[in-house]
Amino acid sequence: MKVWSMYMYRDVVRLYSRVLEVAWRLGSFEVNRYEAVFSGQRVYAGAWTIVSSSSEQVPKVKRIVKGSGRLAPAKLYSSKYSVGVESVHENELIEFVEAIANFEKWNPNEVEIDLTYNIEKRVIEHPEGVAEEVKGFTLINIAVARKGRAVSLGIGFLGAPRRSHIGAIKGFLEDLATRAHLLPRAQRLNPLAAGKWTIILYRDAAAALVHELSHLLEATSLQRLPLGFRVSEELSIQDDPFYPQSPAYRLFDDEAVEVKRKTLVDAGIVVGYLSTREAAGAGIGEPGNAFGLFHRPIPRHTTLCVKPGDWRENELFEETRQAILIDEILEANVADDVITIVPETAWLVEKGTIVKPVIVSRVRIRVSRELKTIDAVTRTPWLRVGVEKGAIVCELAPAIRLQAYVD
């Protein structure tokens, strides 16, 4: 104990990574394997001092930076678990990718598929014990290119892919093929039509909205929304690290703190923050959302879950006179009070029917205004899986209708 009592906090961290990648790129085939190990030592004495190396050997801390911060008390995880780790032969992954490449609705020479089965072992040796996680998860990215335009689809889940899973994702592949067929016909929205529109955010677009909103709910954000801030009462958001099948599943964060479900927005009112021990020590939020073994831990979500509403999807369309539907996106960001979404595909909706694809440069949603206009949330959610600064982050969001500005 003398070693630990010299400092406010000290630990040793290790990350082991094994990746099996199978890729199909416009008719060419690749199989790649990657392995890596990283070790580090972290000391907190009012500020973080972190040293790391790409080897089993834990580097020594030669100089400790001292500061005026403090770490909030927290219950640290001291056990081990394994989730999603399966024995899988590369031939099974090859068959899975080949089945997608040879899907009946497209030509194999116009599709790109990148599939990785990842096994990561995360270990934190802290003053109270050892926290260890071994997790296996699959990430799949598919893109179809036609006539100079491309559409994409991302899928992720715990465990390894099996050829039998093709049946489960067939509907997603058919939807991707439909978008690839229609997108070349898309025409740019009439400049005179730019302005305020009714917008239906669907699948990845709805997920992107809550993802960007979550950055304003991070305890360390300079743009952090105040507790009690109001958006539409139709919107409730919870961070759920235990959501089944999500690759973001975890029992402890990167500070070894035991995680729990955390409500961030309740019936339109901001009630909580994503936080770390250091931020919580400054009085902002509760710890349990830290990401970053080899840099200063920052708050990030695991799986953001939007509470489903009462609307069926067909009712949402039937009750919408005119709108723009956005499903897949190219990018999204938040700056000051504005969430900006750049669509990959957008569709004109009139009198309950999707009329045609349109090209939309961007959609702008002011947090202080347009987020209050959400008037419909559907029952069925969509899980989006992404990687942000090396961390797996997911969003589970149903379709959302609101007002926004379209360019």
Least confident of 53-62, 348-357, 369-378: 348-357
Residues 163 and 280 in one domain: no
Residue-wise pLDDT for 322-363, tens only, equals 999 999 999 999 999 999 999 998 999 998 899 999 999 999
Give the Cα separation of 397 and 305 in Å (integer): 6
**Phi-psi label, residue 370: left if phi above 0, alpha if psi -120 to 50, beta otherwise:** alpha
- Residues 112-135 have pLDDT tens digits of 999 999 999 999 999 999 999 999
Beta strands in 284-343, from DSSP E residues, in sequence order = 290-291, 298-299, 303-306, 322-326, 329-335, 338-343
Whether 179 and 241 map to the same domain: the answer is no
Q: What is the pTM of this model?
A: 0.94
Mean of pLDDT over the chain: 95
Residue with tokens 């892919």: 161
pLDDT at 2 over 80: no
Band the pLDDT of 179: cuts 50, 70, 90. very high
Same domain, 252 and 359: yes
Residues sharing a CB contact under 8 Å with residue 367, sequence separation 6 or more, in sequence order:
213, 216, 225, 231, 334, 337, 338, 339
- Per the structure, the complete domain to which residue 224 belongs is given by 188-406
Question: If pLDDT is split at 50, 70 and 90, which confidence band does 285 have?
Answer: very high
Segment 160-172 shows an average pLDDT of 90
Residues 214, 82 share a domain:
no
| pLDDT bracket for residue 4 (50, 70, 90) | very low
Q: Which helix (H) or strand (E) holds 18?
A: strand 9-25
Assess whether 171 and 226 both reside in one domain: no
Q: How many CB atoms lie under 10 A from the CB of residue 350?
A: 12
Together in a domain, 19 and 163? yes
Note whether 147 and 253 are same-domain residues: no
- Of 308, 305, 343, the closest CA to residue 325 belongs to 343
